[in-house]
Structure 1
């Protein structure tokens, strides 16, 4: 009788430990996977057109007295993508506008893009007056990333600021980026 009870207790202990370890692994891997997806969705700008033609919307107003005038240089303090943060930027254009952080589903398919910086008010199709409220949905004609043009974007945040078009050399691979759209005044600092 003692052997059976001892065997039964050992068996229950092993089963309990296996169940607990299975739950623990599931929770940890589920959390890690969720975090990886969140990071990739929020931070992956691999489909972003780093350089552009330099064309700007007709209605966009040139800043009269920007902190960083055209032709000056500054250091990028916030990297929307790899190789930006810490790079030296040459200011190509400075414009007063409302800049938006947006989330959207690419029209070409694929994962939803969360918290993309930046789309400006003049890149929205038939918007109400700026600034638009958070959670407003509107279409954009911006083409910074594959699948962005004609996408319906959700406004996550609006910032009235000066935005800059910049040239810079990526700190990671030495890629020369021309007419990058956009960085805000808060994302630049004097050399």
Structure 2
């Protein structure tokens, strides 16, 4: 009788611990949590855990290739500023170069969660119904890009404005992960190898 009670208690404890583990995790929880912790240390508290590092290679309608970029398509450059951990110092291959206005923005993700501050970068052509003239710091715009989960469709506040050449790049993170068609890196965030 005592053995059955002990066995029953142990079975119940194991079942409950398994249930707690299963309820506390989904297929992305551990990765997102670890990535988020690393990013908070590296990015001064900004949560870039939902950032889609790779892209389709498609560019927004109306975006024009740069006529005389510092780095031409096919060139190699070194990324000098990290939007995400493991990016700084990576050797990048230039996939596209475009003259536009780049904005850093702050917004509340569509799915909830903490406000994302000073996200770099969206470009003028990724603003829904964009006006002809560049926006100014403090303006509110509707974002038509999904660089991070929950970004598309948000109303964002412009934090900074930069008329520049932006680049789409391929590179390899320190972890060995291949990133293709990453949008966007500005000219001042690249240097010659």
Does the TM-score normalized on the shorter chain lie above 0.5? yes
Q: Which one of the candidate residues 148, 152, 177 is aligned to 1:149?
A: 152
**CA deviation after TM superposition for structure 1 residue 45, in Å:** 1.2
Uncovered stretches (5+) of structure 2, i.e. residues with no partner: 1-39
**CA deviation after TM superposition for structure 1 residue 126, in Å:** 1.0
Q: Which one of the candidate residues 167, 184, 187 is aligned to 1:182?
A: 184
Report the equivalent of 1:83. Answer: 86
| 1:62 counterpart SS class | coil
**CA deviation after TM superposition for structure 1 residue 179, in Å:** 0.3
Distance 2:133 2:120 in 1: 17
Uncovered stretches (5+) of structure 1, i.e. residues with no partner: 1-34
CA deviations on 1:125-180 (whole Å, 9 max, x unpaired) are: 01222320111001011110000000001001100000000000002x11000000
**Aligned ranges 1:1-191 → 2 under 5 Å:** 39-40=44-45, 42=46, 44-171=47-174, 173-191=175-193
Distance 2:121 2:142 in 1: 14
Distance 2:124 2:76 in 1: 25
| 2:188 counterpart SS class | helix
Report the equivalent of 1:21. Answer: none
User: TM-score, structure 2 length as denominator?
Assistant: 0.77
How many pairs align? 153
Distance 1:189 1:81 in 2: 18
User: TM-score, structure 1 length as denominator?
Assistant: 0.77
Quick check: which has more Rg, 1 or 2?
1
> RMSD in angstroms over aligned alpha carbons?
1.4
